[in-house]
Chain A
Amino acid sequence: MEPKTPRRKLRRPEYLLVIDPTVCDGYGYCVELLPSNLSFDDWGYPMIKTRKVDEQDLELAYRAVKLCPKLAFKVNKVKSKDI
């Protein structure tokens, strides 16, 4: 029998976007930069379709973090096991 050693799975971190709706003023930069994650609601505020940011959109996501005039848009890096 093979010895059972605890194997740590190396998982890639995930990047989840977070919007603080109490702060958001509807400038819409994040929606324009991440159309696959977000869309505009009827009042011009961002509506989340998926929280998970694709790897190829990551740069755009951090650009949205940098540009958000209200600092309402954030990207959280999470290890998969944290979910």
Chain B
Amino acid sequence: MILSVLGTQIMWYVTRSSGFIALLLLTITVVLGILSAQKVKLRKVPRVYFAELHRSVALFALVLLAVHIFTAVVDPFTKLGWTTIFDPFGRAYRPLYLGLGVTAFDLILAVLVTSLLRDRLRQKTWKLIHFSSYPIWLLAVVHGLGTGSDSRYGFALAIYGVCLVAVVMSVWVRILDLNAKPLAFRLAAYTLTLLTPFLLVLWALSGPAKAGWSKRFISASTPSHSVSITSSSGGGLGG
């Protein structure tokens, strides 16, 4: 019986779990990137390990994202076409938050390509595009919380919480080291990194973490069996 349930909804399960793992890997990537940029030195751990891990984990995250996107598109329920990848918004299935995720993925592709071609770019160009990793990470979190299949469950909120704490802490480490930058720049950075997590938590608690958030998205254009699938598959993983 379990197998038959899995058979029809396997894509749905894989999409959700690979999404969570991809977010965790993106978080690790961001943290490792900051650690290597800050020249963090642990005893007996060469600094080059951070740089090498940053690369490998980022590529691993991309693999998981490929799985995440493939299963989401192939799942007949979502009715997403492959064109969604370059035309993120305006799909019937949870339009806004799905679009944010696709946008994040497209930006990740930009970061990937510029990093592979780093020796052909100016350092400033590469760095500017690489800095979009921070908004990408935020987009990924908002996409996950907002799409919201699991956002009301404790385990999901715990994962988002761990990711938020990890990234915010390492960003603060980086910002506190910005003494060379002008005061206005530093003040803007402090404000942004204090305000963003605060607003994120506030939004998460007021919306996605509440029961019935994902039902909001079920409109007349979505097929009618959506209600049972969303609730039953969500319950399966949470229980």
Contact = CB atoms under 8 A, between A and B. Distances in A.
Interface of A: 26-29, 32-33, 63-64, 67, 69-71
Contacts, number: 28
Contact of B47 (A29, A63, A64, A70): A29
Interface in B65-88: none
Contacts of A63: 52
Given A27-B39, A32-B46, A71 B51 contact: no
Interface of B: 36-37, 39, 46-48, 51-52, 55, 118-119, 123
A38 to B, nearest CB: 12
B37 to A, nearest CB: 7
A69 B48 contact: no
Contacts of A69: 36-37, 51
Given A32-B46, A33-B48, A67-B55, 11 more contacts: A27-B47, A27-B51, A28-B39, A29-B47, A29-B51, A64-B48, A67-B48, A67-B51, A70-B123, A71-B118, A71-B123
A56 to B, nearest CB: 18
Contacts of A70: 123
